[in-house]
Amino acid sequence: MLTGSCMCGSVAYEVDAEPGRIVHCHCATCRKAQGSAFSTVTNVPHDRFRWAKGENLIRGFESSPGKKRYFCTQCGSHIVAERAGTGTILLRMGCLDTPITQRPKVHIWRSDCASWFDPKDQLPEWQEGTAPKT
């Protein structure tokens, strides 16, 4: 089972399924919804998904015709999205609490990408609380 929750913890979900293909989506609406260069998402069957708590705190926003993005009205976390008629729910992977071994497979919507981010760039990693003295 997969579980996920929002930043404040008021909203949580459960899914009785494995994640589908994991993708990094660079489309403009994902960038705006997440406030970041891209959104990492996976799909699960709608009938295996259920809200575990906080359903009354969720609002949906139709970001493009037929596509609704659901977020916690208390903390703003974008938790899942749904495109009408597909039978799937798109989990925003950042809200997933279950550790998984699957890895992202593909970047999509690079035509819509942020000008300042290229996934081919290799960047250094800094440990928390440290900054190199350069």
For Zn ion, the closer of residues 2 and 11 by Cβ is: 11
25 near Zn ion, judged by CB under 5 A: yes
Regarding 40 and contact with Zn ion (CB under 5 A), the answer is no
Give the C-alpha distances (Å, rounded to integers) separating 3 from 50, 93, 100, 117.
10, 11, 11, 30
What length is written for the chain?
134
Cβ nearer to Zn ion, comparing 47 with 66: 66
Coil, strand, or helix at residue 55? helix
Token code pair at residue 9: 């913890």
Segment lying near Zn ion (by CB under 5 A), choices 66-74, 95-103, 115-123, 126-134: 66-74
Contact pick of 72, 81, 95, 96 for Zn ion (by CB under 5 A):
72
Query: Which residues of the chain form contacts with Zn ion (CB under 5 A)?
Result: 6, 8, 10, 25, 27, 30, 72, 74-75
